[in-house]
Every structure is written in C-alpha cells, then in structure tokens.
C-alpha cells in the first residue's frame, strides 16, 4: 500500500527554519547549535542595564498554561518582554476549560485576538502538535511542556548549561536520575544529548520508573546509582512527585532517597568537576540533599538564568521562521 505522502516536518518551514517549537525529535544538530549560539548572544542582553532588544516589537505572545507553572511561565514572560513583545499570560486551568470550552475553541478565540505566538503547556502528550497542526498553523506554537512527552525549551536550556560549563558534548558522560517514566524533561534531554553528539547517556532509576524500550533513545539503563554515577561529568536530577507512592511504583520517599537520592557521598563517585542540574522545583531530602543542591557542583540557579536566554532564542527564531513562510506562501499565491 502506498504510504502517506512524505510531508514537511510540522515544526519547520520550507527553508528548514523553525516555525513552531514542539519537540526535539527530528531537529538536526545544526539547528540545535544555532539555538544555543543565539541564546549565548542573548545572555549578554540579560547582563545589560537596559535588558531589551526590539526583535518582537509589535508582536503579541500569548502564554496559555493549562497546567500550573511558576518558573517556566515567568521565564517565558521575561523572555518575550526582553524581546519587546506584548505578553499576555492565561492560566486556563482555572478559566475556560472549567466552563466546558474545548482546547480547540480556547485557542481559536485567542487566535482571533491576533496573537502572533502561543506558548502552551498542557497535561496531554501531543497537545502542542495538535494545536500547531489543527488549530492555528499560522501562529508560532512553542511547547512549554506537554504531558510526559516533551519540554523542549527545558531540554535546550539544559544543553546550554552543559555547553557553558563543559565546553561541548563530544566526550561527556551524562546521567539522568530518578523518575524517567513521567518526565518530559528527561525525554527532551535524551533527544538533545543524542542529537548534539553526547557519547554516553545514562538513565538511573528503579525499573518501575524507567519507560519500556527506552534503550531505543541510545541510552544505557542503570538501576544502581553508584554504578551509574561512576565518572560522569553531568548529573541531571529529576523531581519525584508525591503521587508516585501510590499504585505500587515505589514503597516510600525514604526508600527512594536511600537508593537514588543524590548525596555528597554518592556524588563523590562522579568526576571531581562534575556539575549537578535539576529542572526544579527541587524536593530537598527526597531526590537531592541540601548540601548538594546548594554546593559547589550545583548549577541549578544558572539553569534558570540560561532559561530566559534560551526562550528568547526560540521565540525570536520561530517568529522569524513564520514570517519567512508567510512571505514564501504569498509569493506562491501571486
């Protein structure tokens, strides 16, 4: 049977530039590197007394969060403001959907208010794809986290953190520790590390928190923390949600901490100059010891700073990609 016509990747325009940012799946290394380089240049903007550039002047960026968030929403707001855009933030979980409005209608209404860009967080995996494909293809859609699927700006800010502290990816060992199963951050990190050429990606956790078939990402699975952390350059800790204690995934927070919590003693097994990362918010004493979270290996707060620069890069690149596509479409129409 004839397969479906090969179509252009949803998140790229005809020239291969970003027009949505939905997932890191299928994005070439050059594009990821371009995001990191652009973010690097924006870091300098953040250090200035006047922290603004006019790239998105006159554009409206709409943050639509169907799930609660503080850090991600705030850094997206700051990023858009520093690009001189008008910013609206909606906490939709408490408004339209409780009145029975569908995701489709909520987004259509916002589109009618002439938004140029949506930053969306939603609890369903694939929500950002759905919006970009079926709701408003003309508006740049940035995935701010969809279910367990992807959190691509977090993935890229993690990569920026690693590159700035380690110089590159070619000779690194990176360990991702904890609840991989429910983590969109872990999935985006794995894809990004792979695409950027990291040769040794490890995931560490009990089998109940490791997704089936994860080896397909090109990662090695460890169920023993000491073994998995041996000589790594980077440790990425994941947040453990309380609700994982029900349903037989884990017996208790205490047992998880005893086996997979990152302590000073455990970290000693990594390289002496290893860095410790965490997407936040951290659970002290559940997945990470305070002495580690606040210690000299920790770059957790740097991640937050880099997050703004990465989001500025993605917002400006996607807006530019949409504009280019619109021009191309107009030329074809004429």
DSSP state of 6: P
DSSP 309: H
Q: Is 121 annotated as a binding residue?
A: yes
Does position 103 interact with another protein (CB under 8 A)? The reply is yes
223 counts as binding another protein under rule CB under 8 A = no
Examine residue 58 and tell whether it contacts another protein (CB under 8 A).
no
Q: What are the start-end ranges of the H helices in the chain?
A: 29-47, 71-82, 103-112, 127-130, 152-166, 184-195, 225-229, 253-260, 264-267, 290-293, 300-333
Stretch of 153-161, 206-214, 253-261, 286-294 contacting another protein, by CB under 8 A: 206-214
With binding defined as CB under 8 A, does residue 124 bind another protein? Answer: yes
Phi-psi bin for 10: left (phi > 0), alpha (psi -120 to 50), beta?
A: alpha
Do the Cβ atoms of 282 and 129 come closer than 8 Å? Answer: no
42 touches another protein by CB under 8 A:
no
Query: Does 134 help bind another protein (rule: CB under 8 A)?
Result: yes
For residue 73, how many other CB atoms are within 10 A of its CB?
20
Does residue 198 belong to the site contacting another protein (CB under 8 A)?
no
Q: Which of 46, 137, 147, 269 binds another protein (CB under 8 A)?
A: 147
- Is 19 marked within a binding site? no
One DSSP character per residue, 15-58 reads TS-BS-B--STT--HHHHHHHHHHHHHHHHHHHSSS----TTTT
> Dihedral angle at the C-alpha atoms of 175, 267, 288, 43, nearest 10 degrees?
-60
Nearer to another protein, 64 or 150 (CB): 150
Q: How many residues bind another protein (CB under 8 A)?
A: 30
Output 58 or 247, the one with its CB closest to another protein: 247
Strands 117-122 and 86-91: unpaired
Q: Does 78 bind another protein (CB under 8 A)?
A: no
Nearest to 93 by CA among 52, 136, 127: 127
151 marked among binding-site residues: yes
Minimum gap (Å) between residue 127 Cβ and another protein: 4
Residue 99 annotated as binding?
yes
Does 20 contact another protein by CB under 8 A? no
Residues 150-169 that bind another protein (CB under 8 A): 150
- From 20, 73, 187, 311, residue interacting with another protein (rule: CB under 8 A): 187
* CB burial string 141-166: b at 16+ within 10 A, e below: bbbbbbbbbbbbbbbbbbbbbbbbeb
> Helix 300-333 and helix 29-47: axis angle, to 10°?
120
Q: Give the annotated binding-site residues for carbamoyl phosphate.
A: 71-72, 121, 151, 154, 280-281
Q: Which residues sit in the known binding site?
A: 71-72, 99, 121, 151, 154, 184, 239, 280-281
Give the residue numbers of the binding site for L-aspartate: 99, 184, 239
Q: Which residues of the chain form contacts with another protein (CB under 8 A)?
A: 1-2, 4, 10, 25, 102-104, 122, 124-127, 129-130, 133-134, 146-150, 184, 187, 211-214, 216-217
């Amino acid at each position: 049977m004839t397969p479906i016509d090969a179509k252009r990747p949803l998140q790229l325009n005809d020239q291969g530039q970003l027009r949505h940012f939905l997932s890191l799946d299928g994005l070439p290394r050059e594009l990821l590197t371009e995001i990191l380089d652009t973010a690097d240049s924006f870091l300098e903007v953040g250090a200035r007394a006047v922290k603004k550039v006019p790239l998105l002047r006159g554009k409206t960026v709409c943050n639509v969060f169907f799930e609660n968030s503080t850090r991600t929403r705030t850094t997206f707001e700051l990023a858009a403001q520093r690009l001189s855009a008008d910013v609206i933030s909606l906490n939709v979980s408490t408004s339209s959907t409780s009145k029975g409005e569908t995701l489709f209608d909520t987004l259509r209404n916002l589109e009618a208010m002439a938004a140029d860009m949506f930053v969306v967080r939603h609890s369903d995996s694939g929500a950002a794809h759905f919006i970009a494909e079926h709701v408003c293809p003309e508006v740049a859609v940035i995935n701010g986290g969809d279910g367990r699927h992807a959190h691509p700006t977090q993935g890229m800010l993690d990569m920026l953190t690693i590159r700035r502290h380690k110089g590159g990816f070619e000779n690194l060992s990176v360990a991702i520790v904890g609840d991989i199963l429910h983590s969109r951050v872990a999935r985006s990190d794995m894809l990004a590390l792979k695409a950027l050429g990291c040769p040794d990606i490890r995931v560490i956790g009990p089998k109940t928190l490791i997704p089936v078939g994860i080896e397909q990402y090109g990662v090695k699975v460890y169920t023993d923390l000491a073994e998995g952390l041996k000589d790594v350059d980077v440790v990425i800790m994941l947040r453990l949600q309380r609700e994982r204690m029900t349903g037989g995934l884990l017996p208790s927070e205490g047992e998880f901490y005893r086996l997979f919590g990152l302590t000073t003693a455990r970290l000693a097994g990594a390289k002496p100059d290893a860095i410790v990362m965490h997407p936040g918010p951290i659970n002290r004493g559940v997945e990470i010891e305070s002495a580690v979270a606040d210690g000299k290996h920790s770059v957790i707060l740097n991640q937050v700073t880099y997050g703004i620069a990465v989001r500025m890069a993605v917002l400006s690149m996607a807006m530019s990609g949409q504009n280019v596509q619109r021009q191309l479409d107009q030329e074809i129409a004429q």
